[in-house]
Amino acid sequence: MIRRRLLVCPAICCLAAVSAGGLSLPTIGGVVLHAQGKVNLTFTPEDEKFADAADAYRRLWADEGDAIIEGLERASGLKFFERDVKATIFEGASSSGFGSTPMRLRASYPADVKKATLAHELGHRMNTQLRTRPPDVDEHRLLFLYLYDVWENLWGKEFADRQVVVESGRKGLYDYEAAWKWALALSKQERASRLAEIVRVK
């Protein structure tokens, strides 16, 4: 069953608004933030005080956005069908949004956590196409079947291990630590096999 509610994760997120035709972009303090590639992400700061953080996300996406999308697709066996995604940069728990509902990304995360969070939230958006889920695999367990491998393939094992620690330390909204322990108790091959079973019946 598709979960069309907002997927909340303490991470970073950004909102964008492109008008019909994509020619009019929102600005805060006269700054328009938009990055093009395989997937266009428009980053809009919720307030002018988040303009620098939004610009950091924009630069990150310009440099690594295509690689992030390719990494998600390769590790999951899915395709990322969205071509324009909106994201709001603010200070709060990150969320993936869904469809026209923008992502929301935390402004204050350091650069590596920004990278990890973009992959995390975009993975949630991609996973909405999986309509049938086993009862023991919730949204995050599904994502964690391949997210570690995306991080490792893109930025190395040390990066991936560090981001698991970061996410496992988040408390209150969801038990990230338990979900990561569940996923990483499986071998890479076992995670891939479990994910392939779910993808086959999507």
* pLDDT string in tens for the chain (202-residue length): 433 333 334 333 333 333 333 333 444 343 444 444 689 999 999 999 999 999 999 999 999 999 999 999 999 999 999 999 999 999 999 999 998 999 999 999 999 999 999 999 999 999 999 989 999 999 999 999 999 999 999 999 999 999 999 999 999 989 999 999 999 999 999 999 999 999 998 7
SS3 label, residue 43: strand
DSSP string, 98-139: BTTBPEEEESS--HHHHHHHHHHHHHHHHHTT-----TT--H
CA distance between the termini of the chain:
9
Non-local CB neighbours of 186 within 8 Å, separated by 6+ positions: 145, 194
SS3 label, residue 85: strand
d(CA 26, CA 37): 19
* Domains of the chain, start order: 8-200 (1.10.390)
Q: What is the pLDDT of residue 31?
A: 40
Q: What is the pLDDT of residue 136?
A: 92
In this structure, are residues 74 and 49 in contact, taking their beta carbons and an 8 Å threshold? no
Q: What is the pLDDT of residue 199?
A: 95
Q: State pTM to two decimals.
A: 0.82
Q: What is the pLDDT of residue 38?
A: 85
Q: What is the pLDDT of residue 35?
A: 47
- Look at residues 92, 112, 89 and name the one whose alpha carbon lies nearest to residue 102: 89
In this structure, are residues 179 and 140 in contact, taking their beta carbons and an 8 Å threshold? yes
Tell me which residue has tokens 């958006």: 125
d(CA 162, CA 179): 16
d(CA 16, CA 53): 14
- The secondary structure element, H or E, covering residue 141 is helix 139-144
Non-local CB neighbours of 169 within 8 Å, separated by 6+ positions: 176, 177
d(CA 114, CA 136): 29
Q: What is the pLDDT of residue 10?
A: 37
- The secondary structure element, H or E, covering residue 181 is helix 176-184
Q: What is the pLDDT of residue 43?
A: 97
| R_g (Cα) of the chain, nearest Å | 16
